[in-house]
Amino acid sequence: MTDTRETQTRARTVFLLAHTGRPAAIRSAELVVQGLLRSGIGVRVLEAEAADLPLPPEVGTVKEATPQCLDGCELLVVLGGDGTLLRGAEFARASGVPMLGVNLGRVGFLAEAERDDLDKVVDRVVTKAYEVEERMTIDVVVHSNGDVVHRDWALNEAAVQKMSAERMLEVVLEIDGRPVTGFGCDGIVCATPTGSTAYAFSAGGPVVWPEVEALLMVPISAHALFAKPLVTSPDSVLAVEVQQHTPHGVLWCDGRRTVELPPGARVEVRRGGVPVRLARLHHASFTDRLVAKFALPVSGWRGAPH
């Protein structure tokens, strides 16, 4: 393997992130790398992943997974399922490099292409035939005893959940500094429009088109008459207060990063200061994507009258 500096001397460089635990990802990574190198585009990967991939010696490697490892890269190509794509989103947000996702999992709303589209992906990267859009994120702050004890962010959602299976989490919800309601529940999901098709969707929340700027608050198995999903302004501040008499809770951000919430903890969620940039290959509407991803029945549709 060559040092990163050799790869950086090329005119163009793409960073590749793959779920190397999947045979399909290994084969897909090999095809993408070969296609890019044939076109004179340098490729860089993490050293830990390079050991599992059949890569030619001209592929550059970096040891540490830091935002700086994408320095000089024009694009981050991610091969994998939703978990790998969310891992890629962490790199994309921290570095500002656009992420192009190839879905090797099940639903893959963050992905722009499927496994069968690898040739098209390579061609679009080589010809720069893609557009970049920004997806809204959320910033998350955890308070305990008046002190800030944790800061985080999410592309999809921040979920406050019970830690103990046998006892509910007692919470009070707040929007823009005013209390809304309180109840016992399994948890609360605070989501972005991007995350509306992820955990929030599973909890019964609405599907929100990505271009809509809004924040969502979706209860999980709440014991209350008023426990409906709420959709607020993107400038609102959402808060979930864990009651003093309730068991410990836990905060999950994008299902990847977690912190324990003691009784009395307060979780505040607001629009993130740094978006995630996604590379787009298609101009297909979100409606078509929704129908395709969930295999929705649309037979019998005749279209709008002319």
- The pLDDT assigned to 96 comes to 95
Q: Is the pLDDT of residue 95 over 90?
A: yes
Give mean pLDDT, residues 90-106.
92
| Confidence (pLDDT) at 64 | 82
Q: Does 130 count as an annotated binding residue?
A: no
pLDDT for residue 1: 43
Burial 131-169 (b: 16+ CB within 10 A, else e): eeeebbbbbbbbbbeeeeebebbbbbbbbbbbeeeeebb
Predicted model pTM: 0.90
Which ranges in 75-224 belong to alpha helices (H)?
Answer: 82-95, 118-126, 199-202
C-alpha–C-alpha distance, residues 51 and 193, integer Å: 37
202 is in an annotated binding site: yes
186 is in an annotated binding site: yes
| Residue 178, marked binder | no
**Residue of 52, 71, 82, 139 marked active site:** 82
Query: What is the average per-residue pLDDT within 169-179?
Result: 97
For the cut 50, the answer to whether the pLDDT of residue 74 exceeds it is yes
pLDDT of residue 6: 42
82 is catalytic: yes
Is 87 annotated in a binding site? The answer is yes
